[in-house]
Structure 1
Amino acid sequence: MIRVVVVDDQELMRVGFRMVLGAQEDIDLVGEAGNGADAVSLAGSLRPDVVLMDVRMPVMDGVEATKRIVEEGTSRVLVMTTFDLDEYVYAALQNGASGFLLKDTPPDHLVSALRSVASGDAVVSPSVTRRLLDRFMSGGAPPRDEAELDVLTEREREVLVLIAKGLSNVEIAEKLFLSEATVKTHVGRILAKLGLRDRVQAVVLAYETGLIRPGLA
């Protein structure tokens, strides 16, 4: 079972998440919180697999709560918000979120994202990915030297580009005519060589080094 804690200051949103997650046989909603401070406390005591985290909340916002939960190593965090503003996206990802989705994401996509994050993968909605790319390429974040990627093989760079475009391991395997297991191996080596925590950091690095540019995502 995937153990999940839902964090949102709006009761109506929590009810909605409760209904969607309650219908899944492999997901157990073990707790709910209405602000970031309570989320940190719940994550520490319940140690869920995934915390589904709102961003704008009283007492402590979701970005700070994400940072604390990730630092404590208690759970992975999937951030959801109504506002696809760059500063929230970038801050959440930089603070360790394993994914970022908008609240208008269809229920089946949300469930799929939770499963991906619980399994150690990372997810970012396509619209958010495009805004991230635009932010980096317009000077919203400091550029990184593309020479950092020289440690990668040609195939690994190819896989990194597809990761940055938002493709899953299955989609990358289909595109490159590889097995999913082979793609997982490539992803693991990319993260290890570049000293990255997960796919989200790989996406950010791909943007910052200019490996992927506007029009390619």
Structure 2
Amino acid sequence: MTAAIRVLVVDDQTLVRAGFRALLDSEPDIEVVGEAVDGAEAIRLAGELVPDVVLMDVRMPRVDGLEATGRITADVRLAAVRVVVLTTFELDEYVFGALRAGAAGFLLKDVEPEALVEAVRLVHDGQALLAPRVTKRLIEAYIAAESAPVATPAVVPAPDDSRLADLTPREREILGLVGRGLSNHEIAEHLVLSPLTAKTHVSRLFLKLGARDRAQLVVTAYETGLVTASSAGS
């Protein structure tokens, strides 16, 4: 029998934690192994329990979700732990910061119960969390806010970030497509490759860029200039 997915729920609201626990514990393949009221407790419990998935609120007393996410993902003992940030569309900057800190993705706090359960399974399986395009829109909003009032140029200069130095031209192309929100299947269709070849290229990007998951590849694509807010929707 396959072991249940072990989840740590982090939120400063008692009712929210209780609701998530009741929902997740009702699934035969998921088990809530702990609850934390703030980021400091989340860091401690993550180290003690080593859960598979952490559902992390952003705004909490003492230590917030961004700092806790960074501390957890930086711990080599917790390399297999996946952090999912719980947020709202009004917290774009927080979401971007969480992804940079190593979060595997995010969920809206008013997510449908079925979507929350499926998200836990997807993250545990190492897949992209929900729709990559939603992550892309949030990153676009953050970049637009950071760059205002300077307009994005119509012609984007060639990326020269040192992180891209070891990538082949094909790998740069695929990283750009990941940044635009395309799935492996969509990348394969776009480049006329087999799905297995597209998956292999993405796996190599994980290794070469030291990315924990697809969300970090999206961030890298933006930070290195392979994708911009103006080019992402093209």
TM-score category (smaller protein): 0.7 to 0.9
Query: Contact conserved, 2:96 with 2:142, CA < 8 A, in 1?
Result: no
For residue 106 of structure 1, report the CA deviation from its aligned partner.
2.5
SS at match of 2:160: helix
**1:156 counterpart = 2:168:** no
Q: Distance in 1 between matches of 2:157 and 2:219?
A: 10
Query: Could you list the per-position Cα deviations for residues 132-161 of structure 1 after superposition, in whole angstroms to 9, with x for gaps in the alignment?
Result: 1233255459x9971343643444334323
Q: Distance in 2 between matches of 1:10 and 1:164?
A: 34
Could you list the structure 1 runs, at least 4 aligned residues long, displaced by more than 6 angstroms after superposition.
none
Aligned-residue CA RMSD (Å): 2.9
Tell me the equivalent position of 1:146.
Answer: 159
**1:21 counterpart = 2:27:** no
Identity %: 54
How many residue pairs get aligned? The number is 216
For residue 211 of structure 1, report the CA deviation from its aligned partner.
1.9
Query: Could you list the per-position Cα deviations for residues 38-70 of structure 1 after superposition, in whole angstroms to 9, with x for gaps in the alignment?
Result: 111111111101111001111211111111211
SS at match of 1:113: helix
Tell me the equivalent position of 1:7.
Answer: 10
User: Unaligned stretches of 5+ in structure 2?
Assistant: 149-155
Tell me the equivalent position of 1:133.
Answer: 140
Tell me the equivalent position of 2:105.
Answer: 99
SS at match of 1:152: coil
Among 121, 124, 127, the alignment partner of 1:118 is: 124
Tell me the equivalent position of 2:46.
Answer: 43
What's the TM-score, normalizing by structure 1?
Answer: 0.83
Matched AA of 2:70:
K
Query: Contact conserved, 2:54 with 2:83, CA < 8 A, in 1?
Result: yes
Question: Which structure: larger Rg?
Answer: 2
Query: Contact conserved, 2:96 with 2:138, CA < 8 A, in 1?
Result: no
Structure 1, 155-164 or 54-63: larger mean CA deviation: 155-164
Tell me the equivalent position of 1:53.
Answer: 56
User: Unaligned stretches of 5+ in structure 1?
Assistant: none
Q: Distance in 2 between matches of 1:23 and 1:178?
A: 41
For residue 192 of structure 1, report the CA deviation from its aligned partner.
2.5
Query: Contact conserved, 1:133 with 1:214, CA < 8 A, in 2?
Result: yes
SS at match of 1:206: helix
